[in-house]
Amino acid sequence: MNALVCGVDEAGRGPLAGAVFAAAVILEDPPRIKGLADSKKLSEKRRDKLFEEIKQHAVAWAIASASVEEIDEINILQASLLAMRRAVLALTPQPASILVDGLQVPRVAMPASAIVRGDSTVPAISAASILAKVARDAAMLELHAAYPDYGFDRHKGYGTALHMAALQRLGATPAHRRSFAPVRAVIK
C-alpha cells in the first residue's frame, strides 16, 4: 500500500466575522472522485455535491476550526495553522505526510510541504478546500440566523459594502473579529 498523503486547506482567512475552518483529506491513489478543483472555482451546487462524495469516498477526512476568540488572540495566520493542525490530528489513520495549500504549514509530527495554488493542482488539497469552504459557509448561515440584519448569508463575513454598512449601522456582533481594523473601528 502507498504511504498515505493528506491534503490540507483552509477557508475564511479574509472575512471580518466567523471562525476560520480547515480540512484534511486523504484520498485513494488514484482518486476516484471526479471534478475536484479549487472550491472558489466551483458553483455552490457542485461544491455541495462534491462535499458528500468526498465524505463518502475519502480514505479519511476531518474538518476543524479556530474560533473568533482564537483569531483575535493569536492572529489569523496562526489561527489558520491551528485549525489545520486540528484537522490533521483528527484523521484516522494518520497520514505519512501532508501537502498544504499556500506558503505555510502547520506544526505537525509528519513531513509537511506547502504548495502555492495546491488547491488547483493537488486533488487531496482540492478536496480539503471544498470541505473547509462548505463547512464555513454552513457556519455563516447559522450566524445569519442569529444576526439576520448583517447579511452573513450573502457575503459570508467578507468586508463587502453591504457588510461594512451593517457594521457602521449596527456595530459589531460577538462573531466579529475584533483584531481586524474595520471591526476595531466601529467598536470605539
Name which of 137, 130, 19 is nearest 80 in CA terms: 19
Please state, rounded to an integer, the average pLDDT across all residues of the chain.
95
CA distances from 37 to 53, 128, 130, 186 (A): 13, 10, 8, 37
pLDDT classification of 31: cutoffs 50, 70, 90: confident
Mean pLDDT for the stretch of residues 138-167: 96
Mean pLDDT for the stretch of residues 138-149: 97
Mean pLDDT for the stretch of residues 164-172: 96
pLDDT classification of 30: cutoffs 50, 70, 90: confident
Mean pLDDT for the stretch of residues 39-49: 94
Q: Is the pLDDT of residue 42 over 50?
A: yes
- Name the one residue in this structure whose C-alpha cell is 471526479: 34
Long-range residue pairs from 29-36, CB within 8 A, at least 24 positions apart, any chain? 29/2, 29/5, 31/123, 31/124, 31/127, 32/57, 33/57, 33/58, 33/123, 33/127, 36/123, 36/126, 36/127, 36/130
What pLDDT does 106 receive?
A: 97
What pLDDT does 1 receive?
A: 46
pLDDT classification of 38: cutoffs 50, 70, 90: confident
What is the C-alpha to C-alpha distance for residues 168 and 160, in angstroms, rounded to an integer?
Answer: 12
Residue 121 CB neighbours (<10 A): 14
Return the CATH number of 5-145, one of 3.40.50.261, 3.30.360.10, 3.30.1130.10, 3.30.420.10. 3.30.420.10
What pLDDT does 110 receive?
A: 95
What is the C-alpha to C-alpha distance for residues 145 and 3, in angstroms, rounded to an integer?
Answer: 43
What pLDDT does 32 receive?
A: 86
Mean pLDDT for the stretch of residues 145-151: 97
Mean pLDDT for the stretch of residues 158-170: 96
Domains of the chain, by residue range, sit at 5-145
CB 79, CB 49: distance < 8 Å: no
Mean pLDDT for the stretch of residues 1-30: 93
CB 67, CB 19: distance < 8 Å: yes
11 secondary structure, DSSP code: E
Q: Is the pLDDT of residue 2 over 80?
A: no
Mean pLDDT for the stretch of residues 22-44: 92
What pLDDT does 188 receive?
A: 66
pLDDT tens readout for residues 109-118 = 999 999 999 9
CB 99, CB 106: distance < 8 Å: no
What is the C-alpha to C-alpha distance for residues 139 and 118, in angstroms, rounded to an integer?
Answer: 24
